Structure 1
Amino acid sequence: MERLEDTSELQSRLSSLSFSSFPGVTSKQSDDRPLDRLQNTDLSTSITQPTDRADMDEIKEDSGQRSEGNEEVPAEPAPGDGGEENNSAGSCQLSAEMKTQMPPLNPPTTWTSATLKELKAKLRLDKDSVVTVYRGDIMTVHVPTVPEAKRVCWEFATDGYDIGFGIYFDWTPVTNRSITVHISESSDDEDEEEEMEGPVSNGDVEKGSKTQSNSNLAEILPVYRQDSHLSVYGGSHDFPGEGTYLLKFDNSYSLWRNKTLYYRVYYSA
């Protein structure tokens, strides 16, 4: 019985208690306190910012090193760039050596004249100035440079049909000052073709002409077929230095016709 009474008395006391019975605790304080805590709490700051200052500095240093490293690393050359530069340098050196050995040659001064009959009549007086260039042959006139002159000059004409003409220069030191004539035959039978009887363009390059194997030989005027049966062809060229001119009269393209050539070569101061 005493226990029951004690229990009833305890329950009655508990039921009479409220929040206001505890000092400093009110219902308003209980409602506002959680809101204050949420407002004052910055969840994003606590998540994104490192809590350790040393870690933050370490991250900054690492990012700075990566950025500097990227800026300092030079771009790699594309494949073959180095080789091309080396080849270009080698080509320049080779070209410089070739230019030292053989200076560039200026183009010749050329002209034509209608005084065909006058020239032929004049040159007939000198038997050495009228020659026959046979079919398939190339006549080369070797004209060495001389100290007394500054340029070489030429004039030529033909009877009836055209002939090929070109000029080369041999840089080999001169040992003989006399003008000489050499006749040679074309060795390429496949390149020989029958001569065209009508007028031809100056752009018709001689197929019978051969590339010279002499490394000292330079081209001044390539061999072209000239209408020397219609006009006098002449020209001149200033001496580039000591050497020998090669004036080529080319009839290697003709299978059937020989050519009567009237020509003269002389020096000018």
Structure 2
Amino acid sequence: MAAQMPPLNPPTTWTSAAVKELKAKLRTEKDSMVTVYRGDIMTVHVPTVPEANKVCWEFATDGYDIGFGIYFDWTPVTSRSITVHISESSDDEDEEEELEGPVGNGDVEKGSKTHTNSNLSEILPVYRQDSHLSVQGGSHEFPGEGTYLLKFDNSYSLWRNKTLYYRVYYSA
């Protein structure tokens, strides 16, 4: 399968000072404001869809930073639903999370490079983002059919839960 995977282009990323505006808007939207508990990793699974050619994201947090990274799973899409999975740090991950791959074993501060799923390609390694100071956003053009894994990593935090405001959407 690895021979069939084309190289991935880097994502387009940006920041914005409009943190208060984004938080105010997302507070009113269902499932756009969540708590990522200390030690946990939240993965948003975003399948590619025929009606669009790129995925876009924006997020911010209250008070503290959070790790963020993007991966692409080349496994054929079986569901068009965007889903969210929460896992504890890699020591406690179940079999499904091990298939998802890379986060837990790497250093969030330096970026994660560990892959346990041969169908998984790294687009943006997990790095801590100053999402409490500015909106973090970006987009990535679909490389083919598959599912994006947007990882919000709070596994490095021993004491602090993070309130995360996020949205993921498609663009043509």
Which residue number in structure 2 is paired with residue 146 of structure 1? 49
Deviation at 1:101, TM superposition (A): 1.4
Q: Is the 8 A contact 1:169 1:244 kept in 2?
A: yes
Q: Quick one: distance in 1 between partners of 2:102 and 2:28? A: 28
- Matching residue of 1:181: 84
Shift of residue 206 of structure 1? Answer: 3.9
Flag the 1:151–1:199 CA change in 2: closer, same or farther, 3 A: closer
Indicate the SS of the match to 1:194.
Answer: helix
Counterpart-to-counterpart distance in 2, 1:200 and 1:187: 8
> TM-score by structure 1 length?
0.57
Deviations 1:95-151 (A, max 9, x none): xxx664111000000000000000000000013000000000000000000000000
Inter-CA distance 118–244: structure 2 relative to 1 (3 Å threshold): same
Shift of 1:208: 9.3
Cα RMSD (Å): 6.3
Distance 1:131 1:137 in 2: 12
Deviation at 1:205, TM superposition (A): 3.7
Runs of 4+ in structure 1 off by over 2 angstroms are: 187-212
1:94-113 equivalences in 2 (<5 Å): 100-113=3-16
- Residue of structure 2 in register with 1:126 after alignment: 29
Alpha-carbon spacing, 1:113–1:246, altered in 2? closer, same or farther (3 Å): same
User: What is the TM-score of this pair, normalised by structure 2?
Assistant: 0.87
Flag the 1:201–1:191 CA change in 2: closer, same or farther, 3 A: closer
Counterparts of 2:61 and 2:115 in 1: how far apart (Å)?
A: 26
The CA deviation at 1:197 is 29
Q: Does structure 2 retain, via aligned residues, the 8 Å contact 1:138–1:248?
A: yes
Change (3 A) 1:160 1:113: same
Q: Is the 8 A contact 1:135 1:256 kept in 2?
A: yes
Deviation at 1:183, TM superposition (A): 0.3
> Higher helix share goes to which structure?
1
Structure 1 portions without partners, runs of 5+: 1-97
1:142, 1:263 → 2: CA distance?
A: 13
Asked if the contact 1:146/1:177 (under 8 Å) is kept, the reply is yes
Q: Deviations over 1:143-177 (max 9, x none)?
A: 00000000000000000000000000000000000
Give ranges in structure 2 of 5+ residues lacking alignment.
Answer: none
- How far did residue 238 of structure 1 move? 0.2
Kept in 1: contact 2:103–2:126 (CA 8 A): no
Alpha-carbon distance, 1:212 to partner: 3.0
Aligned residues of 1:192 and 1:254 also touching (Cα < 8 A): no
| Cα deviation, residue 187, structure 1 | 3.0
Local SS of the residue matching 2:35: strand
| Contact 2:102–2:116 under 8 Å retained in 1 | no
Contact 1:138–1:252 (Cα < 8 Å) also in 2: yes
Distance 1:209-1:190 versus aligned 2 partners, 3 A rule: farther
Q: Is the 8 A contact 1:200 1:225 kept in 2?
A: no
CA–CA separation in structure 2 for the residues paired with 1:195 and 1:244: 16
Q: Aligned partners of 2:59, 2:19: CA distance in 1, in Å? A: 9
Q: Give the C-alpha shift of residue 216 in structure 1.
A: 0.3
- Secondary structure of the residue that 2:25 maps to in structure 1? helix
Alignment deviations for residues 213-249 of structure 1 (CA, whole Å, 9 cap, x no partner): 1100000000000000000000000000000000000
